[in-house]
Structure 1
Amino acid sequence: MQRLFPVSGRDPGQDDGSPALGTLLGLADAYAYPPRESGPYLRANMVSGLDGAARAEGRSAPLSSPADMRIFGTLRALADVVVVGAETVRQEGYRPAKVREAFADRRAADGQPPAAAIAVVSRSLDLDLAAPLFTRPVVPTLVLTGAAAKEADVAAVRGAGARVVVAGDGDGVDPVRAVRELAALGLGRMLHEGGPRLLAQFTAAGAVDELCLTLSPLVTAGDEPRIMHGPAVVPPSRFRPLSVLEEDGFLFTRYVRA
Structure 2
Amino acid sequence: MRKLYPAADQPSDLVDLYRPPPGPWLRLNFVSSLDGAGHVDGRSEPLSGPADKRVFGVLRMLCDALVVGAGTVREEGYHALRLDAGRRAWRAANGLPEYPVLVVVSARLDLDPGHRALAEAPVRPIVLTHAGAEPGRLAEVADIVAVGDGEVDLAAGIAALRERGLAHILSEGGPRLFGSLTAAGLVDELCLTLSPLLAGPGAGRITAGPGVDAPTHLTLRHVLLDDGLLFLRHSR
**TM band (smaller chain):** over 0.9
1:4 matched to which residue of 2? Answer: 4
For residues 86 and 185 of structure 1, the distance between their equivalents in structure 2, rounded to whole angstroms, comes to 21
Runs of 4+ in 1 over 3 A off after TM superposition: none
1:1-258 aligned at under 5 Å gives the runs 1-7=1-7, 10-11=10-11, 21=12, 26-35=13-22, 39-150=23-134, 154-159=135-140, 161-168=141-148, 170-257=149-236
CA distance in 1, matches of 2:213, 2:9: 34
95-104 vs 135-144, which moves further: 95-104
1:66-123 per-position Cα deviation (integer Å, ceiling 9, x unaligned): 0000000110011111000001111011111122222223311333222211100000
Please give the alpha-carbon distance, in whole angstroms, between the structure 2 residues aligned to 1:125 and 1:232: 25
Partner amino acid, structure 2, of 1:59: R
Which SS does the other structure have where 1:56 is aligned?
coil
| 1: CA distance, partners of 2:38 / 2:201 | 11
Greater relative CO, 1 or 2 (CA 8 Å, sep 6+): 2
Q: Which residue of 2 aligns with 1:15?
A: none
**Percent identity, aligned pairs only?**
45
**Deviation at 1:249?**
1.0
Structure 1's unaligned 5+ residue stretches are 12-20
* TM-score between the two structures when normalised by the length of structure 1: 0.88
Please say if residues 69 and 177 of structure 2, whose CA atoms lie closer than 8 Å, have aligned partners that are also in contact. Answer: yes
| Structure 2 unpaired stretches of 5+ | none
Deviation at 1:204, TM superposition (A): 1.0
Which range moves more in the overlay, 99-108 or 230-239?
99-108
SS at match of 1:193: strand
Following the alignment from structure 1 to structure 2, what is the Cα–Cα distance between the partners of residues 211 and 10? 22
Shift of the 173–9 alpha-carbon distance from structure 1 to 2, 3 Å rule, reads farther
Residue of structure 2 in register with 1:18 after alignment: none
Matched pairs, number = 236
- TM-score when normalising by structure 2: 0.96
Q: Distance in 2 between matches of 1:219 and 1:212?
A: 20
- The structural deviation recorded for 1:9 is 6.3
SS at match of 1:10: coil
Rounded Cα–Cα distance in structure 2 between residues aligned with 1:111 and 1:146: 32
